[in-house]
Amino acid sequence: PPADRYEAENATISQGVVESNHAGFSGTGFVNADNVAGSHVEFTVPAAAAGGRTLRIRYANGTTTNRPMAVAVNGATVATRDYTGTGAWTTWVTDTLTVPLTAGSNTIRLTATTAGGCPNLDYIEVA
């Protein structure tokens, strides 16, 4: 995998479990967050310098209901995205946005904002 990939199964999980029963994921599994608002996954990401970075979030949502998540960097929400249904739990897609990082260590937290919880999360990449 690319050096800038951070697997969700290695991140800090609040209200969720690592599973591997839906094929197509990278690494050893994915995170199935609990179906509750507030469930989240937090990644620690280093940056050599401050500035905007491209963030890719790979996920699957086998339902037909959006699973919106707040994207927070170092504790501040920088975006809230919808994470629409992907057609199947085995269909993984990538959402791309730009996030501001500071020099040094950053946290990137993805938090469910509705009762459905997060979509299943495979990894993030920071480019």
Q: Which is nearer to ligand GCU, 17 or 103 (CB)?
A: 17
Instruction: Quote the CA–CA distance of 124 and 8 in Å, as a whole number.
Output: 7
Q: Which position has the token pair 């990137």?
A: 108
Interface with ligand GCU (CB under 6 A), residue from 7, 13, 22, 95: 22
φ, ψ of residue 9 in degrees (nearest 5)? -65, -15
User: Nearest approach, Cβ of 76 to ligand GCU (angstroms)?
Assistant: 27
CB 82 within 8 Å of CB 38:
no
What x/- string results for residues 38 through 77 when contact with ligand GCU is judged by CB under 6 A? -------------------------x--------------
Q: Which is nearer to ligand GCU, 68 or 117 (CB)?
A: 117
What residues make contact with ligand GCU under the rule CB under 6 A?
A: 22, 32, 35, 63, 89, 117, 120
